[in-house]
Amino acid sequence: MANKILLKGNEVMSEAAIQAGCRFFAGYPITPQNEVPEYMSKRMPEVGGVFVQAESELAAINMVFGASATGTRCMTSSSSPGISLKQEGISYIAGAELPCVIANVQRGGPGLGNIRASQGDYFQAVKGGGHGDYHLIVLSPSTLPELYTLTMNAFDWADYYRNPVMILGDGILGQMAEPVEILPYEPILDLPKKDFVLDGCKGRQPRVVKTLVLKPADGLIAHNEHLQAKYKRIESELSLCEEYETADAEIFVSAFGITGRIAKGAVRLAREKGIAVGLIRPITLWPFPKEPFALAAETARQILVVEMNFGQMIEDVQLASKCACPVEFLGKGGGWYPTEEIILEKIESMAASSVSAAKGNK
């Protein structure tokens, strides 16, 4: 009998990090992720780790920068406005090629917004956020068991690629509770030795962790080319996506995170009504899983993208499907939540318009 515990998403993510060996957490209170620093404040001392409630979100990311340089598995979390504060630090961590995990439990924006869930930070997470040409590996769970596993994996990918990894959650995932099996940690990769660690230069030459590259004059270009080569490698090796009922689908629904879970239910209902619809749910938002969309584009009549924002992932869907067919959007930001019925209604209307278009063509 599996040992399952009923936990909130924020607690699930925290425990997964602890199980994966995270031993430094710095964070700051912000709704709807307060359970993360609260859980860590209790759990870290229990496992001999360190918890610091930092004076701000940007202090927290800089503490993570320091802790990561010591070779420690480390993490910070926040919600949308706090993630904005962290962007400078994230750029530094990416430029210095240090591993860490950053969790964004998204809320409504822009500005102070509200404390309902949203998916308004997709662009920030996937297209940049901080300055410079860098990428985060961005993970998007849609259930709490998936959140648990992806959080554990996040630490492996961070160490393996020497890159920050973001868990892009939202207020619904953070606050909902589901039974989750607390699985022990097992690495999913052969992890390299950390040869960048700053721990005092006894027995070796001193090391410097830095992102300023002034010499030679084209040194920063070379460093960036090195980073770009790494990102190409990650793109070729890491791409996660769930496909549901796509084999014979004519309409493809795409959504990420909690919206993907709701959309899956809508697809199930639509199938019961005989509509040939399938779901493509990206799990890595960067690297974006392009192949399923390229394949879908060969047979799709229409694609529907559902997001809790005003249209962000849709651009990557359009690119990946090479705009081979109409891509429609259903969504709003600011705390709007779809239901299965709302999505089903849209699928039905798209199916109907597709049929009448086909009839009109005869």
Residues that bind another protein (CB under 8 A): 23-24, 26, 50, 52, 54-56, 58-60, 62-70, 72, 74, 88-89, 92, 198-203, 206-212
In the complex, least distance from residue 203 CB atom to another protein, rounded to whole angstroms: 8
Residue 357's contacts (CB-CB under 8 Å, 6 or more residues apart) are: none
**Is 303 within 8 Å of 327 (Cβ atoms)?**
yes
Q: Of the two residues 130 and 282, which places its CB atom closer to another protein in the complex? A: 130
Q: Of the two residues 90 and 280, which places its CB atom closer to another protein in the complex? A: 90
**Is 150 within 8 Å of 139 (Cβ atoms)?**
yes
Residue 22's contacts (CB-CB under 8 Å, 6 or more residues apart) are: 49, 73, 74, 75, 101, 155
Q: Of the two residues 64 and 83, which places its CB atom closer to another protein in the complex? A: 64
Exposure letters 101-136 (e unless 16+ CB within 10 A, then b): bbbbbbbbbeeebeebbbbbbbebbbebbbeeebbb
Q: Of the two residues 83 and 172, which places its CB atom closer to another protein in the complex? A: 83
Q: Of the two residues 184 and 206, which places its CB atom closer to another protein in the complex? A: 206
- Distances in whole angstroms, Cα of residue 27 to Cα of each of 47, 104, 121, 180, 200: 18, 11, 19, 24, 27
In the complex, least distance from residue 210 CB atom to another protein, rounded to whole angstroms: 4
Give phi and psi for 35, each to the nearest 5.
-65, -25
Q: Of the two residues 215 and 359, which places its CB atom closer to another protein in the complex? A: 215
In the complex, least distance from residue 107 CB atom to another protein, rounded to whole angstroms: 23
Task: Look up residue 46 and give its two tokens.
Answer: 């229990």
CA torsion angle 103 106 110 111 (round to 10):
-60
Beta bridge partners of 305: 254, 329
In the complex, least distance from residue 122 CB atom to another protein, rounded to whole angstroms: 25
End-to-end CA, the chain: 58
In the complex, least distance from residue 61 CB atom to another protein, rounded to whole angstroms: 8
Q: Is 184 helix (H, G, I), strand (E, B) or coil?
A: coil
Q: Of the two residues 210 and 359, which places its CB atom closer to another protein in the complex? A: 210
Q: Of the two residues 131 and 322, which places its CB atom closer to another protein in the complex? A: 131
Q: Of the two residues 202 and 359, which places its CB atom closer to another protein in the complex? A: 202
H helix or E strand, kind and range, residue 99: none
In the complex, least distance from residue 109 CB atom to another protein, rounded to whole angstroms: 23
Residue 18's contacts (CB-CB under 8 Å, 6 or more residues apart) are: 40, 43, 44, 47, 49
In the complex, least distance from residue 97 CB atom to another protein, rounded to whole angstroms: 13
Residue 54's contacts (CB-CB under 8 Å, 6 or more residues apart) are: 26, 27, 28, 60, 63
Task: Look up residue 248 and give its two tokens.
Answer: 């014979």
In the complex, least distance from residue 51 CB atom to another protein, rounded to whole angstroms: 9
In the complex, least distance from residue 87 CB atom to another protein, rounded to whole angstroms: 11
Exposure letters 318-334 (e unless 16+ CB within 10 A, then b): bebbeebbebbbbbebe
In the complex, least distance from residue 29 CB atom to another protein, rounded to whole angstroms: 15
Q: Of the two residues 184 and 200, which places its CB atom closer to another protein in the complex? A: 200
